[in-house]
Each structure stands twice: as structure tokens, then as C-alpha cells.
Structure 1
Amino acid sequence: MLFQAEILTPANTPASSPIETKVAIYPGITSRIWAGFPKGCYGLAHMQIWHSGWQVWPWTPQTSFHWDNHIFTFEDRYPITVEPLEFVVKTWNLDDFYPHTLTFMVTLEPAPPPEEVRELQRTLEALGILRGA
């Protein structure tokens, strides 16, 4: 299932006070993620994707996607099996004149049997990527 958000981010939106857009989803495991930046952003508009209080993408904490006329797209298997069933997309815009509309999309596959989910969660917890649920 595909979930999408178009996020208008006004000019002069600081990283310290980003726009936070909730994207409601169903339980499952992510399969593909897109973070899109229209022509004219010039790397001034930024995006992070969070779940349950943790930055999920980009994986490196305190970094963000930012570019011009580019769509970041990649495969990743991240389990969403417990509340909150949503991603929080944080955007900010250092452009001092123009607003920018950024696009976030994610596809989710149905949740696998519970044991497979528990094993994947244990692996992510061991790697320090996911907090104990």
C-alpha cells in the first residue's frame, strides 16, 4: 500500500522549529521510500522522517535529505507493528523568499507472522536503530 504526503514548507522555517506532518499508515513493513525535492530548492529545503520519537530516515541522526530537483528513493524494511501507526515528516526551509512543497511517499507490505516481526525488531534493537517496543 502506498502512502503519500505533499508538504508545503514556508520560507524561513528554521530547523529548530520544523513543520511536522503526520502520515497515518497501516501495520506492516516498509518496502520503498521516496523523498522528493522540486526544482528550485537548491538544497535549502530539508526533510527527516521519524517514527515513535526516533529519526528513521536518513539513518544518521541529525542529518536530513536536501537537494534540488531530485527524488531520493531506496528500499528499506522497517517494521511498523505497534502504535503510533504514523510517520512524522519534519521539514524546514532555509530559503529566505520561496516556499517549497516536498513529497514523502512510502510503500508498506502486510506485516509478516509475529515471530518474523519479533526477530526483525530484535535485530534492529541490537543495532541501536529501534528502541524496545
Structure 2
Amino acid sequence: MKNILRTAIFPVIMLVMTIGILWFHHQTGLPRQSSPENVALEARNGGYQLISSEALWQLYKTTPRDILIVDTRQGWEYRSGHIRGAVNFPMEPTWTARWTSGRKLKQLLGPDKDRSIFFY
């Protein structure tokens, strides 16, 4: 009896695992092609706005204390060159990073709710 159960259950378990692996692998897929339209759509869906580099430069020149610029690249990229005054907050491109870095980001942004914050 044990041998029959082992023979019948093992293939079913392997089939379920294979389907699960294939499903999760399919879900990752390739990222969408980056285009201005896709970026604008993602911004709208995410509830944030885009700004041109020229408009940011004007704000930076006229009211530098009223803005916070956050460089989300990795530390080595930040050290190789960044916008003067920008603070580094590396954002890992994983779905878990959103949950693990929330408290740190809140500390970085601080209590001032009136300033504009720009991420790049």
C-alpha cells in the first residue's frame, strides 16, 4: 500500500511543482520597452508626476532649499557622479525592496511636507 501511494503521489507532487515553477517564471517576463509613453503612463498610474531636466534645473537654481533630490541609484553609481545636493537612497529593483526600505525612506524624507521631492 505504501508503495502504491508513493508511486501515485510523487508524480502528482512533481507535476504541481513544475506547473508552479513555470507559472512564476512566466510572471516575471521581460520588462516592457521603455518609451516616453510608457513612462508617462507608469507615472500616472503610480500617482506621481514627471518633470523635465530643464524645469528641475530652474527650481534648483531659484529655490534649492525647497526641494529634495533623491538619487536612487546604487552607491557606487552615486559616488561616480551625482547632482550636487542630492542624497543617495539606493532602491533595489525587487518587489521586496518596497517593503523593506519604507521606514528608511520616511526618515530620509523628513517631516517637511511642503517641499518638492524629486527621484532619479
TM-score normalised by structure 1 residue count: 0.22
The structure number with the bigger radius of gyration is 2
Which of the two has greater strand per residue?
1
Q: Which has the higher contact order (CA 8 A, sep 6+)?
A: 1
